Chains A and B, each alone.
Chain A
């Protein structure tokens, strides 16, 4: 059974704190993604990675960074948390396909982050 796990389901942090969100997949997928989900805005791509140590910016990378030191693990870092980063964070993984191939993404359960 394929699995994407996220380190916390709920997290409460204070403004200015450095926050680490961890994501681990057990499917040997090359691609990993971080999204944030907000009501009325849907899913927005923050960063993605197609290989170890490789990263690409998504739509809203400002205020975030990522780290991929091992294939199975992709971390999202909030360097200095702010209240507008209160959101649901979803991690996903998928195989490295060519651009016209079927491309399912597998999602973790999400981390609901509240920044006070």
Chain B
């Protein structure tokens, strides 16, 4: 069945780059998404990539998509303590209309 996998934890120092990885099984999703959840809050869309793109850059964020390996990554340059959050990758669910399927989330911890 469809699945989205992420590593659960990442710890970096302030100023370093963070790379959060995601693999997915279903390649039918036209868009792939990264959501961010700050402590005590709901999820917010951080960025997304269209499936025919290999890379998308948005200020400090870079999304890389390797369709052959079904691998998605989110790179955060110059990571700040305010980037500490849970990051979820998501794609379209096959059998639930426009609902999304989410990975388990990667908790990013940034130390100063």
Q: Which residues of A contact B (CB under 8 A)?
A: 4, 31, 33, 35, 40-43, 45, 48, 50, 56, 58, 90, 92, 94, 96-97, 99-110
Q: Which of B61-69, B72-80, B101-109 contacts its partner?
A: B101-109
Residues of A within 8 A of B43 (CB): 43, 90, 92, 105, 107
In chain B, residues 75-100, which have Cβ atoms closer than 8 Å to a Cβ of chain A?
Answer: 88, 92-93, 96-100
Among the listed B33, B42, B99, which residue makes an inter-chain contact with A110, where contact means beta carbons less than 8 Å apart? B42
CA distance A31 to B50 in the complex (A): 21
Among the listed A92, A99, A107, which residue makes an inter-chain contact with B92, where contact means beta carbons less than 8 Å apart? A99
Number of interface residues of B (CB under 8 A): 26
Q: Contacts A43-B88, A110-B42; is A56 near B96 (CB within 8 Å)?
A: yes
B44 interface hit (Cβ, 8 Å): yes
Asked if B104 contacts A40 (CB within 8 A), the reply is yes
Query: Least Cβ distance of A22 to chain B in Å?
Result: 15
Q: Contacts A40-B8, A90-B43, A110-B42; is A50 near B104 (CB within 8 Å)?
A: no
CA distance A100 to B32 in the complex (A): 11
CA distance A90 to B96 in the complex (A): 17
CA distance A92 to B90 in the complex (A): 14
Residues of B within 8 A of A42 (CB): 88, 102-105
Asked if B102 contacts A43 (CB within 8 A), the reply is yes
Asked if B31 contacts A103 (CB within 8 A), the reply is yes
In chain B, residues 25-71, which have Cβ atoms closer than 8 Å to a Cβ of chain A?
Answer: 30-31, 33, 35, 40-45, 48, 50
Q: Contacts A43-B88, A103-B31; is A108 near B42 (CB within 8 Å)?
A: yes
